Amino acid sequence: MTKKYFGTDGIRGKVGEAPITADFLLKLGWATGRVFAKEGHGFVLVGKDTRISGYMFESALEAGLTAAGVDTRLLGPMPTPGIAYLTRTLRASAGIVISASHNPYYDNGVKFFSVQGTKLPDEIEKKIEHYIDSPITTVESSELGKAKRLVDAAGRYIEFCKASVPTRLDFSGMRIVIDCAHGATYHIAPHVFSEVGAEVVTIGAEPDGININDECGSTRPDKLAATVLEYRADLGIAFDGDGDRVVMVDHKGEIVDGDELIYIIAKSRLQSGQLTGPVVGTLMTNLGMEHALKKLGIGLMRAKVGDRYVMEMLIANSGILGGESSGHIICLDKTTTGDGIISALQVMAEMQSSGRNLHELKSGMQKYPQVLVNVKTSKKVNPDKDEAIQKAVKAIEKQLGDTGRVLLRASGTEPLIRVMVEGQSEVQVKDYAHHLADDVKKSIGA
């Protein structure tokens, strides 16, 4: 049974357009309440990022949960991984996050965590969808849910983050710049990093409801890089709007992406004897990371794009570390979901333990040039089933050998075929990518 509303990471869209409307969120809150009331659970946590529509959707979810007879604990602005942590440690029946992650302010969405602090199982999402398509009913007044704010949520999560690195490590003398993307980490990250001893310069920490992710954060780290150079900082750390992604900048102002950060953490875990299972990346993980890990004797497995699939592969193969080049990094030995703050702390811990700066730590991995070309389609096309396209792919793969790779995949959200070619020579890779895109266009009649 396919799901009608839930995607790979909850429900997301433009505010005011179905399904991201106040009436739908009211219904979603009620449907969620009905499911967890039937499961016999107690209360649901609701947190959000800093976008202006969060106020509206928080109220709508609260009303729906209340009508279903379920108590609500409101967290206010809180990073997504913080909501996962609190759902688990407070033993809530579920956690609800109102966020569109790295998207602009005019988008929003909802995602869920189970009592274990992980994504909801498919069967629970399907139960919720069943109730969404049913008429709302309200429990007897004496059975209505109650709502209250959890005032110590931020403090609890700050302490959890700090505990993810050994107390013996002294970060004093380390100057760092933090870009909070005017998002959910604005009142959390500065405290975490200053309380472990670092000197902190903070930017992107003045949310006004509409500036979230605007020319800042992990998707736009240019300002962070400039600020690192201006303050002669040891490193910079950029989060996205809901704090589950991180991108870093070294003291030279060079951007260090998710693949490079995963490599640094993997090598650190290996040297300390803590690495178990393979590292899990995605189809888009840079080939340079795969080759660098191979030199260390670490295997890489590739999941479909999306942290949900990375998590599934990690669990299935007893792994503890995985993620995406976008900076969504999962350290299962520390927490249950992608966490930007905790991932950054792991890298800083390796810097202190090894006595090496971030630029030196990333030098063991050489990123390969990667060129992505999007081909618009007028209909749904499976490039794997097209003989002409596959013939063109095989010809390029033969030329690249072990020094590159080709990836074609249909977008799950847009009428596009994504053509990606990766290899050691940027000129060669660009040439191959555009030639292959032309072949795809001819074959599908685009």
Q: Looking at the annotation, which residues are catalytic?
A: 101
Residues 434/373, Cβ–Cβ less than 8 Å: yes
End-to-end CA distance of the chain: 32
Alpha-carbon gap, residue 262 to 347, rounded angstroms: 9
Alpha-carbon gap, residue 290 to 288, rounded angstroms: 5
Report how many helices (DSSP H) and strands (DSSP E) the chain contains, helices first: 14, 18
Q: Are strands 43-48 and 94-98 parallel, antiparallel or unpaired?
A: parallel
Give 277's contacts (C-beta < 8 A, 6+ positions apart).
Answer: 314, 317, 318, 319, 320
Looking at the chain, how many residues does it have?
A: 446
Single out the residue of 388, 407, 386, 173 nearest to residue 290, CA to CA: 407
Alpha-carbon gap, residue 216 to 226, rounded angstroms: 12
Alpha-carbon gap, residue 275 to 287, rounded angstroms: 21
What is residue 101's three-state secondary structure? Answer: coil
Q: What Å distances lie between residue 341 and 23, 27, 177, 331, 334, CA to CA? A: 34, 33, 13, 11, 11
Residues 345/164, Cβ–Cβ less than 8 Å: yes
Alpha-carbon gap, residue 290 to 263, rounded angstroms: 9
**195 burial via Cβ count (<10 Å: 0-12, 13-18, 19+):** middle
Other beta carbons less than 10 A from residue 20's beta carbon? 21
Whose tokens are 């700050």? That residue is: 158
What is residue 65's three-state secondary structure? Answer: helix
* Furthest CA-CA distance within the chain: 72
Q: What are phi and psi of 37, to 5 degrees?
A: -65, -40
Alpha-carbon gap, residue 227 to 204, rounded angstroms: 11
Q: Which residues pair with 300 in a beta bridge?
A: 279
